[in-house]
Amino acid sequence: VSGANDYFAIFTLKSWILGWFLRIISQVTFFALIGTLLQSDEQTKFFLIGNAVMVAGMGATFAMNMTTAERGNGTLSLLLASPSRPVVVFASRGIYVMADAVFSALLGLFILGPAFGLHFPMPRTILVVPLTLLVGFSAYCFSTFLAGVILRRREITGLVVNATIVTLMALCGVNVPVSFYPGWLEAISRCLPITNGLEAIRAVIDGDSWSTIAAHAGAELLVALAWLTLALATFGRFLHAGQRDGTLDYAS
Amino acid sequence: VRAFLAGASIQLRFMRAYPDAVIPFFTAPMFTVIFMMIFKHAGRADLTAYAAIAPVFIALWWLALFNSGWAITLERWNGTLEMLVAAPSSFAATILGRITTTTMIGVVSFVETWLVARLIFGTTVTIHHPWAFVATVVVTLAAMAGTAVAMSSLFVLARNAVTFSNSASYPFYVLGGILVPVSALPHWIRPVSAIVFLSWSADLLRATLNSAPVHDLAFRLGMIALLGACGFAVGAWAMRVILVRVRDTGELGTT
């Protein structure tokens, strides 16, 4: 509930459409146009799908701002004193940002897809919806882990959020296939959120076999669970370490 | 001049103190990697100039939106606007000093971008028309500072400034043709692009990296300067409105 209140305090319908949504449509268009520059329908399709799905990952990463805002708002001390587990409250505060990002990603994909001549085979394309949700969830687990890491350094949140987004954009097969990377980088890419889920989504739209789709989706789920486990295991430690050494200032 | 230098000095201190101020210097190299990978994967080495220019514009625009754009608003939030307005020095000169400093620092992204292209992708960016290049960079920086003055003033007047600054990146990257030239956009949107100075700057900068002769250099430089000057004029007008309004209504001490 606190997350929903936060979220509706940030956006009205008008500011969402003219602000956030316009930005998302422009962002996906910006990359899809590279395909036009390259005069390649295949590339256009690749950039469009990759960057639309990336929106889900990007929004989930933005959620990091919501968790560290707890410190800035001076409510961290109350949260620490409450019987709830801080990581649960932190995770809930950003979940609406993630949900919005997934919704925006799907809107971007299904509005701009036809505009750029992309064909969505039905009914299998319906699978894109839960897969995009999986990508958003996976990126959200990763971002919650990072939120714990930087909890004691609130001043670098903006820097970490932005650097994380462009890094994921570069390393997760969003704009070039993962096979283009050197072997060691491909291995890292496979451990990051987005990569495997995006391949599953591409496989759905390309009409690949169900086993291929399941393998990619399974890998994304594994990655998401691994980051979630890491976040749950470390969040409390980061918090308590901050309490011990006094670096966890409660307001700024 | 002293007020201008004081503004420049305080801005440098702000940038050292707030890590958010250096975000574009982390993202510009990553955008270079992304664009270089795209063109390398597509086998289009001829588009290297495109990949080398776009991250610079992204960095400069980010600095204009988030650092310069928020200069006056931050003075209000910090409670220092009253002192600035009451001081005998020119308020506009101080703000201009801050904005110019931020814009000038954006030039670092040129170095970063081209170093990444060289060190990671082994690509050398060749400037085929050095004088035209320098002239374009100088006029572009001036236009960027002029636009930033407009943003800085308008953000105080606009209620949805936060939403605007968070959203005004990619729409302008598309309209400004910073990576994909405006000629690739649909016809109906090109007149809008024509009034965005980024579109003239990006086209001209790409042309200076191309071995073909640069056509209509003076006219194109003039258009960048004109659009930048329009931004500055809007900003100066809005700044006057703000000062008159806060003095008239007595809001200065309560904002």
Confidence at residue A178, expressed as pLDDT on a 0 to 100 scale: 92
Confidence at residue B200, expressed as pLDDT on a 0 to 100 scale: 94
Mean pLDDT of A48-58: 93
CA distance A243 to A229: 22
Mean pLDDT of B222-243: 87
Give the predicted TM-score (pTM) of the model. Answer: 0.86
pLDDT band per the 50, 70, 90 thresholds, residue A251: very low
CA distance B236 to B234: 6
Q: Which chain A residues in 117-156 lie under 8 Å from chain B, judged by CB atoms? A: 155-156
Q: Is the dihedral of CA A22, A47, A104, A91 positive or negative?
A: negative
- Chain B positions touching A162 (Cβ under 8 A) are 23, 26-27
What one-letter code names the amino acid at A192? L
Q: Do B167 and A23 touch (CB under 8 A)?
A: yes
Any idea which residue has 């929004």 for tokens? A59
What one-letter code names the amino acid at A71? R
**Is the pLDDT at B255 greater than 50, yes or no?**
no
Q: 3-state DSSP call for residue A185?
A: helix
pLDDT band per the 50, 70, 90 thresholds, residue A249: low
pLDDT band per the 50, 70, 90 thresholds, residue A77: low
Q: Do B34 and A175 touch (CB under 8 A)?
A: yes
Confidence at residue A125, expressed as pLDDT on a 0 to 100 scale: 86
Instruction: Compare all CA atoms of chain B with the CA of A173 and give the residue at the minimum distance.
Output: B34
CA distance B78 to B97: 18
CA distance A91 to A105: 21
pLDDT band per the 50, 70, 90 thresholds, residue A167: very high
Average of per-residue pLDDT values in chain B: 83
Chain A touched by B217 (CB under 8 Å): no
Residue burial B227-253, b: 16+ Cβ < 10 Å; e: rest: bbebbbebbbebbeebbeebeeeeebe
The model's pLDDT over B20-60, given as tens digits with 9 standing for 90+, comes to 777 888 888 999 999 999 999 988 888 888 888 899 999 98
Mean pLDDT of A199-209: 92
Choose between B13 and B43: higher pLDDT: B43
Mean pLDDT of A187-202: 94
pLDDT band per the 50, 70, 90 thresholds, residue A226: very high
Confidence at residue A1, expressed as pLDDT on a 0 to 100 scale: 58
Confidence at residue A252, expressed as pLDDT on a 0 to 100 scale: 43
Determine the Cα angle at B139 with ends B133 and B140, to 5°: 85
A139-153, B12-26, B65-79, range with the lowest pLDDT: B65-79
**Is the pLDDT at B17 greater than 60, yes or no?**
yes
Determine the Cα angle at B36 with ends B33 and B37, to 5°: 80
Give the H or E element holding residue B196.
Answer: none
**Is the pLDDT at B253 greater than 60, yes or no?**
no
CA distance B221 to chain A (A): 25
Choose between B171 and A252: higher pLDDT: B171
| ipTM of the prediction | 0.85
CA distance B97 to chain A (A): 25
**Is the pLDDT at B132 greater than 80, yes or no?**
yes
CA distance A218 to A116: 30
Choose between B65 and B55: higher pLDDT: B55
Q: Do B169 and A23 touch (CB under 8 A)?
A: yes
The model's pLDDT over B150-194, given as tens digits with 9 standing for 90+, comes to 887 777 776 666 667 777 788 999 998 899 898 888 889 899 999
- Chain A positions touching B20 (Cβ under 8 A) are 155, 158-159
Confidence at residue A70, expressed as pLDDT on a 0 to 100 scale: 66
Residue burial A21-34, b: 16+ Cβ < 10 Å; e: rest: bebbbbbbbbbbbb
A1 by Cβ neighbours in 10 Å (0-12 / 13-18 / 19+) ranks as: exposed
